Amino acid sequence: MPQPRVARDRARADRAPAEAKPKPKPKVIAVVPTYHPDVAVEAHMKALARQVDEVIVVDDGTGPAADDVLERLTADSIRVIRLSSNAGIARALNVGIRAALEAGADYVVNTDQDTELPDGYVDACLATFMLANPVTHLGIVCTDRVNGQPSIPTWYSPEGLGLVPEAIQSGFVLSRECLERTGPFDERLVIDCVDTEYCLRVRDRGFRIAVAKDTDIKHSLGEMVPFRPFGIPLRHRDGEHEYQYHSPFRQYYITRNNIDLVFRNVRRRRRWALAVIKRQIGPTFDAIVSGPKRTKHTVAIFVGTLHGFLRVRGPIPAGLRRFLTR
């Protein structure tokens, strides 16, 4: 007896391979530490919110001065967490990342308050994660360029992704697995070298860092000022020589934390340690001979060097902070 058509169709459907269910869209949450945020920060946060599922702003102890800006951000459905005191970017990042993971984030975007991520940046980073072979073990995707200056990959993965040993944390897109296995940012560093230390630890855990091809972010890397050794201007055909200036307060952390990281890594990464020392000689010399506050820079570098060798960590001593910032 011929099989009824309905029965034949049902039998054929049973034999057909089940269609693969589409993967759910990953949840992406951005974490942004702020300190004395202004109107420009509001614009950056609104633009960022269009690229992610949620934005978490962690204000690092600004106090009442930030009330108006933070209240307007809250009104725009941006989650705001306020720290009672200024504890440094590492602490602010950790508080925000912990909140993002508790909210179910599959990926976390880190960005500074003065960084502009172009439209499509987060999607480009996620696409890079999707391209990665599991063997590559990709943990972080970062920008290809900062203010137009390209990252030069040190290696390439089998699938052609450009890999770098370290990058600035502003613009990081980190996988949940990477965050959970690597752990929090090192709060003992407070500010400066926080991203470098984390990149080294990420690689120690077996993860790779890739650039999202053709992405370019706008990010403030410090003030450029004329190089005037002992007040003497140096000129060339296009004007005065310039160098990147950091305040004496920042100079203390830059000096101390770089020395600290050299001590931590010199046995395993001798070339890297030598490169860090070589890289810091020029800026240190510039700050001592040309800085607008040369005496304070000299004190900051001397104490930072001493504390680096003594492995002193944590916030700058209160008395030194008052002297360097007054």
**Tens digit of pLDDT for each residue in 132-159?**
999 999 999 999 999 998 888 999 999 9
**What band does 23 get if pLDDT is binned at 50, 70 and 90?**
confident
Within 10 A of 227 (CB to CB), how many other CB atoms are there?
17
How high is the pLDDT of residue 10? 53
82 pLDDT more than 60: yes
Would you say 268 and 217 are in contact if contact means Cβ atoms under 8 Å apart? no
Within 10 A of 203 (CB to CB), how many other CB atoms are there?
18
How high is the pLDDT of residue 271? 95
Cα gap 273→265, rounded to integer Å: 7
Cα gap 80→95, rounded to integer Å: 11
Would you say 192 and 89 are in contact if contact means Cβ atoms under 8 Å apart? no
1 pLDDT more than 60: no
Would you say 100 and 175 are in contact if contact means Cβ atoms under 8 Å apart? no
**What band does 53 get if pLDDT is binned at 50, 70 and 90?**
very high
How high is the pLDDT of residue 3? 53
Q: What is the DSSP string of 184-251?
A: S--GGG-SSSHHHHHHHHHHHTT-EEEEEEEEEEB----EEEE--GGG---EETTEE-EEEE--HHHH
Would you say 139 and 165 are in contact if contact means Cβ atoms under 8 Å apart? no
Mean of pLDDT values over 272-301: 90
Q: What is the DSSP string of 248-310?
A: HHHHHHHHHHHHHHHHHHTTT-HHHHHHHHHHHHHHHHHHHHH-TTHHHHHHHHHHHHHHHHH
Mean of pLDDT values over 30-40: 95
Lowest-confidence range among 17-21, 122-126, 194-198, 321-325?
17-21
Q: Which two tokens stand for residue 18?
A: 């089940």
**What band does 85 get if pLDDT is binned at 50, 70 and 90?**
very high
How high is the pLDDT of residue 276? 95
How high is the pLDDT of residue 178? 98
| pLDDT digits 0-9 by tens, 264-273 | 999 999 999 9
How high is the pLDDT of residue 12? 52
13 pLDDT more than 50: no
How high is the pLDDT of residue 286? 85
| pLDDT digits 0-9 by tens, 194-249 | 999 999 999 999 999 999 999 999 988 777 777 777 767 777 667 677 767 889 99
Would you say 207 and 139 are in contact if contact means Cβ atoms under 8 Å apart? yes
| pLDDT digits 0-9 by tens, 153-191 | 999 999 999 999 999 999 999 999 999 999 999 999 999
For 169, which DSSP code? S
Residue in the structure block whose two tokens are 């307060």: 249
Sequence ranges of the domains in the chain: 28-217, 223-325
Within 10 A of 73 (CB to CB), how many other CB atoms are there?
24
Name the residue type at position 42: E
**What fold characterizes domain 28-217?**
Spore Coat Polysaccharide Biosynthesis Protein SpsA; Chain A (3.90.550)
Mean pLDDT of the chain: 90
